[in-house]
Amino acid sequence: MADTNFTDQNFGDEVLKSQIPVLVDFWAEWCAPCRIVSPIVDELSNEYGEKLKVGKLDVDTNGQTAQKYGVMSIPSLIIFKNGEVIKTMVGAQSKDNFKREIDSVLAS
């Protein structure tokens, strides 16, 4: 389950310094498409296990990080690898599409 909650305070340590790629779900409580994507993100977290760290960042309470990475629309799922943005996926998408994008990053 994507139970890691990223914040402005822990983002550097948890995401940018991670030894493995990190999928960050930028979301907000009031966002209907975010609620659609949330269970998919949880499933991805379970499926990828140790190969991919997965967590969520609430843009309402952590606006500094969202602004830094140019998150204008949510949900936005951003994959970080070695502290760099590798892939950005905006909007509700199918699980298969998310998996394709994640697999392409893990294979590189």
Note if 34 is an active site residue. Answer: yes
Domain boundaries, the chain: 4-107
Ordered DSSP codes for 59-71 = TTT-HHHHHHTT-
* pLDDT tens digits along 29-73: 999 999 999 999 999 999 998 999 999 999 999 999 999 999 999
Band of pLDDT at residue 2, cut at 50, 70 and 90: low
Please state, in angstroms and as integers, the Cα–Cα distance from residue 62 to each residue in 43, 90, 93, following that order. 24, 18, 23
Cα(89)–Cα(55) distance, rounded to whole angstroms?
15
d(CA 48, CA 70): 26
Look up 31 and say whether it is catalytic. yes
Q: Give yes or no for a cis peptide into 75 (omega within 30° of 0).
A: yes
Q: Quick one: CATH architecture of 4-107? A: 3-Layer(aba) Sandwich (3.40)
How much of the chain, in percent, has pLDDT values that exceed 70?
A: 97
Instruction: Give the pLDDT of residue 108.
Output: 85
Single out the catalytic residue among 22, 31, 44, 89. 31
**Given the residues 2, 15, 22, 34, the one annotated as active site:** 34
In order, the DSSP letters of 14-44 are IIIT-SS-EEEEEE-TT-HHHHHHHHHHHHH
Residue 41 contacts residue 93 (beta carbons within 8 Å):
no
